[in-house]
Amino acid sequence: MRVSQLFNVTLREAPAEAEVASHQLLVRAGFIRQLAAGIFSYLPLGRRTLTKIENIMREEMNAIGGQEMTMPVVHPADIWKETQRWYQIGTEMGRFKDKNNRDMVLAMTHEEVVADIVRKDIRSYRQLPRLIYHIQTKWRDDPRPRAGLIRVREFTMKDSYSLDADWEGLDKQYRAHYQAYFNIFHRCGIPVIAVKSDVGMMGGKMAHEYMYLTPIGEDTLVICDNCGYSANRQIAFFKKTPPPPEEPLPAEKVYTPEAKTIEALANYLQIPKQKTAKAVFMVATLPDDGGYKDTFIFAIVRGDMELNETKLANILKAKELRSATEEEIIATGAVPGYASPVGLKDVLVVVDDLIQQSPNLVAGANEEGYHLKNVNYGRDYSANIVADITAAQDGDACIRCGAPLRTARGVEVGNIFKLGTRYSDAMGCTFLDKDGVEKPIIMGSYGIGSGRLMACIAEEHHDDQGLIWPITVAPYEVEIVSLGGHQSEKVQTVADRLYQEFLDRGIEVLYDDRDESPGVKFMDADLIGIPIRLTVSERTVQQDAVEFKRRDQSEKRLVQLSEVYATVKHEIELLHQEIRSKVIEVPFEG
């Protein structure tokens, strides 16, 4: 492609709204343009990279037996009602009515469509196992799109669905994806870790998220460098050390003015935070014979710990969980800042499992300005539920080996779920097994957002000057920059001939044939980030040569014209080898 013909404009300055590097550079280099919040177009360069990413996904999916298909973006709401997700999912779902006033849904994911096809077409164990996938648009009306392509509302996802006759089959396909996903990310040039995760709206039995570690990430991960345990903080387990046992002391009311926070309370009483109990008020939307009902939740964790809302929501099986408002708190009879589990009625009390083992805590007295000392679980109050509802923090002990845990930020670039029979049951996907018994099909679902992946690659591979694409996903393999081609016929001829030779020999080449100054061309080349750059100028043609430079290295060297093709071919292969060396087997962490 000649740059003079390319549909592309590079920007000297990044738009003011772009903050993270990948966003700024992808916009400046002309890979993407924003249409609205979380809605982007991919221009030709961006499209080429996306296509390469998608082809890598295709190859890896096909390698584990995947079969590509395409499912619709617009669905009748009926199938989403069958699985209840029409009711369970809130504003994130795109809904509209067609001309016949029929409820319609914009695809957020495709379990329902898969299940609908499967229940009609799969009859026998002989048709299992299967693995199907497609690369298709999703719409999720995220309340807060951010960071360019990192979090958007409309995006393209490679999603695959495994169909099995039994759980062993699911496990096998799950593990196949586990490795295939590592292969995809490694081939795209980004390091990732797989962490155990919450199953979220997908439901199901087991899930892993693939995390690209970066400070701009929005998920917090908990990692054990000693034994390799890693999990999303939303569900991370950790070892809680109970305090030394103490004889329960008689409860005692103490005056604690202006001590409305744990911090202030601990300071005022000169006690460590772990000797206090923290009350957190939430409102959960819980299933209630067929419908849903808002229930006030009084959650108690030790003062030195934080409530983990995901854990709490999962334990309660809550559809939604939010912080209670001040009015709601007062309505239950609790006094904000001095709330106490002692003597409360008509609320659901959930207590962290460490509280039981922590004697003589300071808790609120439900009276402005007073706390109770020596509050003991069991004696002074009890809970409806005792469970692990606290969040792991930096330095907490690893659940497996006891070593201190570390937290890190990451972007979720992919996920895999063992769905089990959640969708099969809801939509009646059954097959007749060998033994003549009708059984539900066991499903798994697996997704990678291709645009987000592209942004992560850009995040990982760039410098001050611009993007530095790994050879596997670069829009072009080589860029020819001609300097003074409009003045020197010799330069023009050599550059044109080189371009044509590469085209003929199947090398993907971008040719900057514009009548621009050298500075502009070099700047644009660096911005766009094609892995190999060849410069043709008066200076080089005099020596029958071109200048060779890799985007990821600063050295330049002259290559004789007669050897250019062989050199480029060789260097492309070297670049591929570098990537290939990173594609490794990763032990399954179940």
Partner RNA sequence: CGGGGCGUGGCUCAGCCCGGCUAGAGCACACGGUUCGGGACCGUGAGGUCGGCGGUUCAAAUCCGCCCGCCCCGACCA
Nearest distance from C-beta of residue 15 to RNA, angstroms: 3
Nearest distance from C-beta of residue 165 to RNA, angstroms: 26
Token code pair at residue 479: 């860029």
Nearer to RNA, 362 or 527 (CB): 527
Nearest distance from C-beta of residue 200 to RNA, angstroms: 3
Q: How many residues bind RNA (CB under 7 A)?
A: 70
Q: In the chain, what is the straight-line distance between the N-terminal and C-terminal CA atoms, in Å?
A: 47
Nearer to RNA, 123 or 486 (CB): 486
**Residues 564-571: contacts with CB under 8 Å, at least 24 apart:** 564/498, 564/534, 565/501, 565/502, 565/505, 568/477, 568/478, 568/502, 568/507, 568/532, 568/534, 569/507, 571/532
Cβ–Cβ < 8 Å for 161, 443: yes
> Residue 77: in which H helix or E strand, if any?
helix 77-82
Rg (the chain; Cα; Å): 29
Please give the residues from 244 up to 283 whose contact with RNA meets the rule CB under 7 A: none
Nearer to RNA, 52 or 514 (CB): 514
Counting contacts by CB under 7 A, is residue 463 touching RNA? no
In angstroms, rounded to a whole number, what is the distance separating the alpha carbons of residues 23 and 572?
Answer: 27
Counting contacts by CB under 7 A, is residue 144 touching RNA? yes
Q: Pick from 526, 529, 531, 575: which binds RNA (CB under 7 A)?
A: 526
Counting contacts by CB under 7 A, is residue 498 touching RNA? no
Q: Pick from 127, 465, 492, 567: which binds RNA (CB under 7 A)?
A: 465
The SS3 of residue 469 is coil
Nearest distance from C-beta of residue 415 to RNA, angstroms: 4
Counting contacts by CB under 7 A, is residue 63 touching RNA? no
Nearer to RNA, 248 or 336 (CB): 336
In angstroms, rounded to a whole number, what is the distance separating the alpha carbons of residues 404 and 396?
Answer: 5
Please give the residues from 155 up to 214 whose contact with RNA meets the rule CB under 7 A: 155, 157, 197-198, 200-202, 209
Nearer to RNA, 550 or 582 (CB): 550
Q: Pick from 519, 555, 562, 587: which binds RNA (CB under 7 A)?
A: 519
Nearest distance from C-beta of residue 454 to RNA, angstroms: 14
Residue 50 burial (10 A CB sphere; 0-12, 13-18, 19+): buried
State the binding string over 384-423 for RNA (x if CB under 7 A, else -). ----------------------------x--x--------
In angstroms, rounded to a whole number, what is the distance separating the alpha carbons of residues 485 and 495?
Answer: 8
Cβ–Cβ < 8 Å for 381, 347: no
Beta bridge partners of 385: 350
Q: Pick from 280, 305, 458, 527: which binds RNA (CB under 7 A)?
A: 527
- Annotate 342-380 with b (16+ C-beta within 10 A) or e (fewer): eebeebbbbbbebbeebbbbbbbbbeeebbbbbbbbeeb
Nearest one of 360, 257, 345 to 298, comparing CA atoms: 345
Nearer to RNA, 318 or 474 (CB): 318
DSSP track, 103-129: EEEE-S--HHHHHHHHHHH--BGGG-S
Beta bridge partners of 132: 67, 161
Q: Pick from 219, 328, 496, 552: which binds RNA (CB under 7 A)?
A: 219
Residue 186 burial (10 A CB sphere; 0-12, 13-18, 19+): buried
Specify the stretch interacting with RNA by CB under 7 A; choose among 13-21, 53-61, 390-398, 399-407.
13-21
DSSP track, 487-538: T-HHHHHHHHHHHHHHHHTT--EEEE--S--HHHHHHHHHHHT-SEEEEE-H
Please give the residues from 22 up to 51 whose contact with RNA meets the rule CB under 7 A: 28, 34, 36-38
Nearer to RNA, 200 or 248 (CB): 200
Nearer to RNA, 429 or 455 (CB): 455
Counting contacts by CB under 7 A, is residue 9 touching RNA? yes
Nearer to RNA, 249 or 520 (CB): 520
Please give the residues from 536 up to 555 whose contact with RNA meets the rule CB under 7 A: 537-540, 547, 549
Nearest distance from C-beta of residue 137 to RNA, angstroms: 11
Counting contacts by CB under 7 A, is residue 321 touching RNA? yes
Measured between alpha carbons, how far is residue 363 from residues 108, 255, 281, 455 in Å? 44, 12, 14, 47
Nearer to RNA, 96 or 255 (CB): 96
Nearest one of 541, 536, 559 to 479, comparing CA atoms: 536
Measured between alpha carbons, how far is residue 542 from residues 72, 499, 527 in Å? 58, 19, 28
Counting contacts by CB under 7 A, is residue 470 touching RNA? no
Q: Pick from 440, 444, 447, 531: which binds RNA (CB under 7 A)?
A: 447
Nearer to RNA, 34 or 179 (CB): 34
Instruction: Give the interface with RNA as residue ranges (CB under 7 A).
Output: 9-17, 19-20, 28, 34, 36-38, 92, 138, 140, 142-147, 151, 155, 157, 197-198, 200-202, 209, 218-219, 309-310, 313, 321-323, 412, 415, 447, 449, 465, 483-484, 486-487, 515, 517-520, 522-527, 535, 537-540, 547, 549, 556
